[in-house]
A and B are shown apart, each in its own frame.
Chain A
């Protein structure tokens, strides 16, 4: 019987931890069977989500946040949950459409790039409240070479 695999890390809410976070996600993604392109996509999506948490929760920014990645083997998916203590639900951000983001880039407007990437690079993005924590949940389906 195959067991689910799960790993967690708690990091300071500081941009300097982003490299460590990406390496953490890549390590468990590799265990879950993601290929290089899928690993790159998931790492970037998690980086963008964490960057959002660190940048948009000021001035009462959390001192730390957690990332728990679970490899759901039978479902061929990897779920990464980023969570942090907060008084109110972090307002879900509607991703810009492809046309919107291309217009913004052509107009040299920086906003929205990270949110667009996050939603484009993984299969599901969900914002939820769990107890006293806000959670951003990213799901990446694992490529299946067997064609099953």
Chain B
């Protein structure tokens, strides 16, 4: 005991309780600070690891699959080109094909509608796509049956009488100008 007391001899003044508490707090705060920094770094590294192991590898795998499928698709380039050509050309041809009402159809429909009710003296197809027939009738009472007959045709729509004029060269003869559309049935 005495010896101990002997070694307690120190030139530095003994620290007060307050100072000891401050030093203890400082030591603890150093530890907590280091834990805080290491935690942040740990979280960052963990996120990096998750990204590398789960996300980047998944992305690479999907990209590889896409490349593989793309190269498989490229093996069929020739047939794709043929199909593309057929498709584009068919789209371009759609409108002309719909316009393709044969001129013979105009003559056939007109002849079968007019029959003996009048005498056809002209057929026409206008630039607008409409069709027309010019009929000579000797009696105005024949006009209605001609129109009725045209009306019954499924291929015809929008029948319009363009004009009815008296023939200047013939007594009791009228010139009937009829317009209509021919549709594809």
Q: Tell me whether A and B are bound partners.
A: no
Interface residues of A (CB under 8 A from B): none
